[in-house]
Structure 1
């Protein structure tokens, strides 16, 4: 798939089939995240991969989007490892690039995913559930699975309205 076509056709998927995601596809998604750019190549992202139904259920109780979390087949909690951080802004941007890489790879593999941010208000509980140290700061939870919906086309602003300087 052409990369621009992949970018343009990716949509947030919030309903998933009850079909297990093969481990080899999950590894490709994590690998795509691993290859995101980062300042000084510090690779500040860390992943918690949750397929266990009971843990997914606990996570679902920590967000207004419990239906999405509970119906997903895999959750990837993405953390910023503050122990390796050298510049917060650059490191947060790197984690965002990592998440985008994983969402694009999931789409290219025929899977659906959604980047959940509202769950960040429960970051302390998530670290506690997973037994993680405080130097791991939750940045997002990605819900993954085979799509059980076909989202509408998305509109974007005209490029001429977004470019503020060109010379």
Structure 2
């Protein structure tokens, strides 16, 4: 898939077939996440592969907007170490870039995926940290539900000329 095609056709997919996602596909998605730009090349991220149904179900109970995890064969959790030495104030942007790369990689491989925000909602951060035994200094930032899509959505243009300003507002 060409880059612009991936960017313009990627959609949030929330319905999945029960088929498992292969470890090779998951590793490709993780490679894409780790290839994201980060401030000072600090790479403040850590990732948790979640493919146990009981954990996916519990996350869907903790997070009111993660109900699709009940029927997702897998999810990838992006966590941040906000104490990276040089550029710790940019970890949100860094993990956002990794999340977007992962969504595009999933789409490129024919998988469906959806971004599930966690940070900065403290109740969600704490609940998921406790459930998955994440060290206290690490912050669960976002999760990406992934699976073979059970729904098809076509790309749609989001280009909006009224939001473009030349040189000054």
Residue 62 of structure 1 deviates from its aligned partner by 0.7
Normalised by the size of structure 1, how large is the TM-score?
0.91
Matched with 1:149 is: 151
1:156/1:31 CA distance change after superposition, 3 Å: same
Query: Does 2:128 correspond to 1:126?
Result: yes
Matched with 1:64 is: 64
Matched with 1:17 is: 17
Separation in 2 of the partners of 1:118 and 1:46? Answer: 15
Matched with 1:164 is: 165
Any unmatched runs of 5+ in structure 1?
Answer: none
Aligned length: 166
Separation in 2 of the partners of 1:116 and 1:100? Answer: 11
Normalised by the size of structure 2, how large is the TM-score?
0.90
Residue 122 of structure 1 deviates from its aligned partner by 1.5
Give the SS at the match of 1:116.
strand
Separation in 2 of the partners of 1:64 and 1:85? Answer: 34
Compare 20-29 and 67-76 and name the one that shifted more.
Answer: 67-76
Separation in 2 of the partners of 1:66 and 1:36? Answer: 24
Any unmatched runs of 5+ in structure 2?
Answer: none
